[in-house]
Amino acid sequence: PEVCGAVPETHRFNCYPEIYVIVTRSLCESRGCCFIKMPLPPPGKGGVPWCFYPPNFPSYSLDRLNKTGLGFSGELTRKTKTYYPKDIERLELNVTFETNSRLHIKITDSTSPRYEVPIKVPQVTERATDPIYSVEFSKDPFGVIVRRNSNGLVLLNTTVAPLFFTDQFLQISTMLPSQYLYGLGEHQSGFLHNFEWNTLNFWARDIPPMENSNLYGVHPFYLVMEPGGISHGFFLLNSNAMEVALQPAPALTWRTIGGILDFYIFMGPDPSSVISQYLEVIGFPMMPPAWGLGFHLCRWGYGSSNATWHIVKTMRNYGIPQDAQWNDIDYMDGFRDFTFDSKKFATLPQLVKDLHNYGQHYVMILDPGISSTQQPGSYPPYDEGLKRDIFINTTDGKLLIGEVWPGKTAFPDFTNPETHQWWYESLTRLYQQVPFDGLWIVSHFFGGEGSMHSEPQNSLKHNAVLSGVKGGSLRVKTICASAKQKESVHYNVHSLYGLMEAKATASALKKLRGKRPFVISRSTFPSQGRYSGHWLGDNRSQWKDLYWSIPGILNFNMFGIPLVGADICGFSGSATEELCVRWMQLGAFYPFSRNHNTQGEQAQDPLAFGPLARSAMKEVLLIRYSLLPYLYTLFHRAHIYGDTVATPLFFQFPEDITTYSIDRQFLWGRSLLVTPVLEAGVDSVIGYFPKGVWYDFYMTVPLPSSHWSSKLTLGCGAVGTNAGKNCILVSETPSTTTWMSSGNPMQLIVALSENATANGDLFWDDGESLDTYETSNYSYMVFNVTQNTLTSTVLHVNVEATFIIVDKVTVFGVKRQPSKVTVNGKEASFSYLPNQVLAVSNLYLKLSDGFSISWI
Ligand SMILES: *[C@@H]1O[C@H](CO)[C@@H](O)[C@H](O)[C@H]1NC(C)=O
Ligand SMILES: *[C@@H]1O[C@H](CO)[C@@H](O)[C@H](O)[C@H]1NC(C)=O
Ligand SMILES: *[C@@H]1O[C@H](CO)[C@@H](O)[C@H](O)[C@H]1NC(C)=O
Ligand SMILES: *[C@@H]1O[C@H](CO)[C@@H](O)[C@H](O)[C@H]1NC(C)=O
Ligand SMILES: *[C@@H]1O[C@H](CO)[C@@H](O)[C@H](O)[C@H]1NC(C)=O
Ligand SMILES: *[C@@H]1O[C@H](CO)[C@@H](O)[C@H](O)[C@H]1NC(C)=O
Ligand SMILES: CC(=O)N[C@H]1CO[C@H](CO)[C@@H](O)[C@@H]1O
């Protein structure tokens, strides 16, 4: 009727989200909703919902609201049942003013406990003293409104659509202050999300990345740029299958099929602060070992340890940097975990020893499926696992058997602490033969549909379709949702599998090696950055995948997993020489840099093509290696402050709206801008350079011989509060491993801001010991330029820094040729290059002593 027609199209909230149903007037009206038929959208696209909530659709009312020591508590009740089963009629609301920039809201069943995600979040005991936000409530229908105090902007308004809280369908909607929304992973999409009735699904899935599908990881977090260059973030702490519907109002709807509504809002106000506030809740990322930041080489199908070894030796012969050699599942004996093929990979132990002799490292793959078909007594991981009850059970409490690479398999239940001990012991047996340094894990690779047991026809299933998890129901390529795990039914913990497995793996590596663990996982969940990095999955050797990798790495930096990269040159398909060179030139700037290929395709390692390609790849890797002190410091900052390593341009230029959609360029930290070539047949690239000063990095280092190079610029001239921040980079003379490079002389690269200022820092330690920051076994210096003087101030020092000298300082943006340069008060020779570059070379400054350099 009239109320229906009065709802603007953009504000129609879908009352019939089931994807496999064509909604009719009678179906819609049976739900008490408005029905207005609209033109069908183009195939694969969403359109205005035909069935939507009228303004007076029954929701909860706020019956009681009390001020508490931390914020508010209240009770919500629903008097009218919804059209889904098992409404929870009384809900408890808790609103906590956790910090001045972080608000926490939790809505749950007030009478019986429900499943909650078992990750550790901060417990506050005092209310924030001076919050930069305020909260109001709408009583009937219930809604929460959150405002930013400085300008009154409404960041959250949940009164726009009814709240649902049934046993297996929870829904909450909000208006958004803009369509500049980022995050919501893991999906293959451009950097910015499409608001034209776009639905994104969340349910960890083993599937090669494709558009419009839920992928390996689940990250229910978004960041929004508000008008005026400020931003906020939102995190829904829930691990059930869910979806987010975006519509042009702009508005957003969360739908989840279990758990509770537990969410955090982060007020920034700048985007970098939003991320560090988010990471304060889920945990800051681990500090990776230095070697993890070197170049990694892998492929599926080397076929033997000798063939693998041959590659390593040839890489060395050509002087191409390489820190780690990897093997995929072909090293295993019958694809069984914790084994290696005693014929084809007979020399694996020697290969690993040889890598170690050269300061290189070895990483191997592990699957979660444990073969269940070996003779009893011949495969301890299974026998032991059975004995210790660490496998996942079926609904009726029997051992659950699925199928993966080795055939029939049981699956370890990583929600059980006992499983972590069993995983460690199983790894120990392998480690005694093959002393690997790192592990990469894939989760949820379960061949076929569900487990070998049929899924019971119970209510767990019905909402799977409702949630519209794409590509089929919840059971595609995984075990059935009703399977039993120690923590809870698989239905609740499915998307946590990768997180728990990563946690067990990192802990095992720590015990085995006594050093920082190196784990790369395909499946991820919030807080996983504490244990592992991530690779972006089974992409293809195509130009468009080269581009997709940039939004991918930027998203994972926002998700708190900065150690991330895509398979360089593409996993499936064969890369052409040109594509592979371009990909190496981009991949040399992935925080995690690994070239990886599938079996049966042409080789794509740096040795696979002609001499020109080989030298182009070597040159760009040497640039990466020269910048390792800077990269390492960025990881330290991520670990301590929650900074991003690969940073979107708009983080540094939030006032410049043009940067909001840039996903073909990115920064390392705040100042080094990478502008890669992403297209075939060109030898130049057009980038966007926001207002400020930009310096060509190649002005002082030799330009790579071929014109095949990513453009590198130092953008330290950002205007406003970011000016000059982190604009002093430390580089080192590169060798072919991070270990060999680590004692080499260092150089300071200074990029002056418009006001001739700059600052930066360096974190340095032995690169692999555990908790060096936490145990104060590190060196840390800060660098400053003001009034034509560069100062190095040593704030902390350990033995490492005493071996290292600084042999060169380059200053970009010195406007006039100086008449004199002094180093620690003594006159020194210098050169002044065209383009305003001052270089002071042949220095012999101890890194562990402070120093100053002035020019007049
Ligand atoms: C919140 O949304 C409701 C429904 O659209 C609207 O009537 C109300 O004005 C909004 N409140 C604020 C503070 O924006
Ligand atoms: C691998 O190399 C070793 C030593 O060079 C050699 O003895 C062995 O036969 C080789 N193995 C295979 C399977 O080719
Ligand atoms: C699986 O079943 C076994 C045998 O009944 C039992 O001991 C074990 O605790 C069960 N494990 C889970 C995760 O339910
Ligand atoms: C740089 O100088 C300009 C003009 O002198 C001034 O407006 C601006 O605030 C300065 N920026 C910083 C970061 O000092
Ligand atoms: C500190 O680290 C150095 C290597 O950087 C190591 O040799 C030394 O034992 C460590 N000291 C402590 C107290 O852990
Ligand atoms: C760096 O320079 C800034 C601005 O002059 C100053 O506030 C700061 O204290 C300096 N830091 C160090 C470590 O010298
Ligand atoms: C087609 C395809 O599989 N593309 C994926 C390759 O990897 C990138 C990240 O590098 C994904 O975002 C793509 O979806």
- For residue range 219-248, what is the model confidence (pLDDT) as tens digits? 999 999 999 999 999 999 999 989 999 999
Q: Are residues 420 and 508 in the same domain?
A: yes
The whole-number pLDDT of residue 685 equals: 85
pLDDT band at 446 (very low <50, low <70, confident <90, very high): low
Q: Do 172 and 229 have their domain in common?
A: yes
What band does 710 get if pLDDT is binned at 50, 70 and 90? Answer: low
Residue 251's domain comprises 61-282
How high is the pLDDT of residue 215? Answer: 77
Q: Of 127-141, 304-318, 443-457, 651-665, which range is least confident? A: 443-457
pLDDT value of residue 203: 84
Calculate the CA dihedral of residues 296, 301, 302, 304 and round it to 10 degrees.
130
Confidence (pLDDT) at 248: 97
Alpha-carbon gap, residue 164 to 82, rounded angstroms: 8
Ligand 7 pocket (Cβ < 6 Å) reads 188, 208-209, 536-537, 539-540, 545, 548-549, 552, 566
How far, in Å, is the centroid of ligand 2 from the Cα of 597?
Answer: 24
Q: Is residue 619 part of a domain?
A: no
Q: Which atom of ligand 5 lies nearest, measured to the CA of 777?
A: 1
For residue 322 and ligand 3, the question of a CB distance below 6 A is answered with no
The ligand minimizing its distance to the Cα of 548 is 7
Highest mean pLDDT among 473-482, 626-635, 668-677: 626-635
**835 occurs within a structural domain:** yes
- From ligand 2's centre to the CA of 307, what distance in Å? 9
Distance 65 CA to ligand 5 centre (A): 55
Give the atom of ligand 6 at the shortest distance from the alpha carbon of 795.
Answer: 13
How many A from CA of 500 to the centre of ligand 3? 19
Nearest to 213 by CA among 59, 376, 19: 19
Share of the chain above pLDDT 70, in %: 93
For ligand 7, atom 5: residue with the closest CA: 539
Report pTM. Answer: 0.95
Cis peptide before 526 (omega within 30 of 0): no
pLDDT of residue 712: 79
Residue nearest to atom 10 of ligand 2 (CA): 306
- Asked if 251 and 323 sit in the same domain, the reply is no
pLDDT of residue 470: 44
Quickly state the pLDDT bin for 691 (edges 50, 70, 90): confident
Residues in the chain: 856
Per-residue pLDDT at 112 exceeds 50: yes
**What's the average model confidence in pLDDT over 404-431?**
95
User: Where does 388-487 have alpha helices with state H?
Assistant: 417-433, 459-467
Residue 623 lies in a domain: no
Instruction: List C-alpha distances in Å: 704 to 11, 502, 699, 838.
Output: 54, 39, 11, 22
Residue range 74-101: mean pLDDT, rounded: 96
Residue 391 has pLDDT above 70, yes or no: yes
- Answer yes or no: is 704 within a domain: no
pLDDT category, 335, cuts 50, 70, 90?
very high
Atom of ligand 4 nearest to the CA of 723: 13
Indicate if 308 and 236 belong to the same structural domain: no
pLDDT in tens, 582-606: 999 999 999 999 999 999 999 999 9
CA of 226 to the centre of ligand 1 (A): 17
Residue 241 C-alpha to ligand 1 middle, in angstroms? 29
403 against 254, higher pLDDT: 254
- What average pLDDT does this structure show over 527-556? 94
575 within a domain of the structure (yes/no): yes
At 700, the pLDDT band (50, 70, 90 cuts) reads low
Please compute the mean of the pLDDT values over residues 566-571 and round it to a whole number: 96
Question: Do 230 and 312 have their domain in common?
Answer: no
- What's the Cα-to-Cα distance from 236 to each of 202, 247, 265, rounded to whole Å? 12, 19, 9
pLDDT of the residue at 714: 81
Mean pLDDT, to the nearest integer, of 56-79?
97
User: Residues lining ligand 2, CB < 6 A?
Assistant: 304, 306, 347
CA of residue 168 to ligand 3 center, whole Å:
25
Please work out whether the CB of residue 153 comes within 6 Å of at least one atom of ligand 1: no
Q: Does residue 215 sit in the same domain as residue 259?
A: yes
Q: Tens digit of pLDDT for each residue in 65-76?
A: 999 999 999 999
For residue 671, tell me if it sits in a domain.
Answer: no
Q: Give the rounded percent of residues in the chain with a pLDDT score beyond 90.
A: 81
Q: What is the CATH number of the domain that holds 395?
A: 3.20.20.80
Q: Which ligand is nearest to the CA of 722?
A: 4
Structural domain count, the chain:
3
pLDDT of 622 > 80? The answer is: yes
Contact status, residue 406 vs residue 378, Cβ threshold 8 Å: no
pLDDT of residue 44: 73
pLDDT the model gives residue 444:
54
Residues 397 and 273 reside in one and the same domain: no
Which segments of 465-574 are extended strands (E)?
519-521, 533-535, 564-565, 567-568
> Is the pLDDT at 465 greater than 60, yes or no?
no
Looking from the CA of residue 769, the nearest atom of ligand 5 is 2
Model confidence at 21, in pLDDT bands (50, 70, 90)? Answer: confident
Q: Is residue 536 part of a domain?
A: yes
| CA 395 to ligand 3 center in whole angstroms | 10
pLDDT at 447 over 80: no
One domain, residues 65 and 145:
yes
Q: pLDDT tens digits, residue range 338-352? A: 999 999 999 999 999
CB under 6 Å to ligand 6: residues?
A: 759, 782, 784, 786, 791, 793
The backbone torsions φ and ψ at residue 221, rounded to the nearest 5 degrees and listed phi first, read: -135, 135
Residue, of 21 and 198, whose pLDDT is higher: 198
Counting ligands in written order, which one lies closest to the CA of residue 768? 5
For residues 666 and 671, give the distance between their C-alpha atoms in angstroms, rounded to a whole number. Answer: 10
325 to 100, 352, 768: CA distances (angstroms): 46, 9, 18
Predicted local distance difference test score (pLDDT) of residue 464: 42
**Ligand 5, atom 5: nearest CA belongs to which residue?**
766
Whose atoms come closest to the Cα of 721: which ligand?
A: 4
Query: What CATH number does residue 821 fall under?
Result: 2.60.40.1180
- Give the per-residue pLDDT at 33: 97
For residues 426 and 501, membership in a common domain is answered with yes
In this structure, which ligand is nearest to the CA of 725?
4
User: Does 352 lie in the same domain as 251?
Assistant: no
Residue 4 Cβ inside 6 Å of ligand 1? The answer reads no
Cα–Cα nearest to 407, from 341, 303, 332, 484: 332
How does residue 720 score in pLDDT terms, banded at 50, 70 and 90? Answer: low
What pLDDT shows up at residue 683?
A: 82
Q: Are residues 562 and 496 both part of a single domain?
A: yes
Which helix (H) or strand (E) is 219 found in, with range?
A: strand 219-225
Q: Which residue bears the tokens 């402050």? A: 641
**pLDDT recorded at residue 709:** 60
Question: Of all atoms in ligand 7, which is nearest to the CA of residue 551?
Answer: 12
Q: Residue 24 contacts by C-beta under 8 Å, 6 or more apart in sequence? A: 35
Q: Three-state SS across 297-364?
A: ECCCCCCCHHHHHHHHHHHHHCCCCCCEEEECHHHCECCECCCCCCCCCCCHHHHHHHHHHCCCEEEE
Mean of pLDDT values over 243-261: 95
Average pLDDT over all residues of the chain = 92
Q: How far is the CA of 344 from the centre of ligand 2 (A)?
A: 9
DSSP 60-74: -EEEEEEE-SSEEEE
Per-residue confidence band for 706, with pLDDT thresholds at 50, 70 and 90? very low
Q: With contact defined as beta carbons under 8 Å apart, do 257 and 489 qualify?
A: no
Which numbered ligand comes closest to the C-alpha of 211?
7
